[in-house]
Amino acid sequence: GVDYEEVFEKLPEDRAFIFLRVTAGDEMSKRSKFVFITWCGPATTPMNKARLGNEKGQLKSIMSNFAVEITSDDKNEVKLSNIPELIQKAGGANYGTGK
């Protein structure tokens, strides 16, 4: 229950896992979708990068219901403004009128 922009501003220099709930869809249908973000910042040590894969696998076995998975070391890729487009692409057909 924390605002994503607040989380984004406080992304650590090393690593983090974020499970994000967003509302997606078009004017005909709105639904909740989940995004699993693995953040691997610039200060992540080689040993922690190696651990990241194992920890990510464990988390994915618990939280397996998500529409999009993002693994990134670039803050521009995990901006909230980029996520709706990724969800739309992952969802397949788009029957909305664009309104």
How confident is the model over 36-67, as pLDDT tens digits? 999 999 899 999 999 999 999 999 999 989 99
Global pTM exceeds 0.85: no
**Average pLDDT of every residue of the chain:** 86
Amino acid letter, residue 92: G
Cβ(14)–Cβ(49) below 8 Å? no
Strands across the sheet containing 15-26: 15-26, 29-40, 68-72
Tell me the per-residue pLDDT of 71-86, one tens digit each, with 9 for 90 and over. Answer: 999 988 899 888 888 8
Q: Is the pLDDT of residue 88 over 60?
A: yes
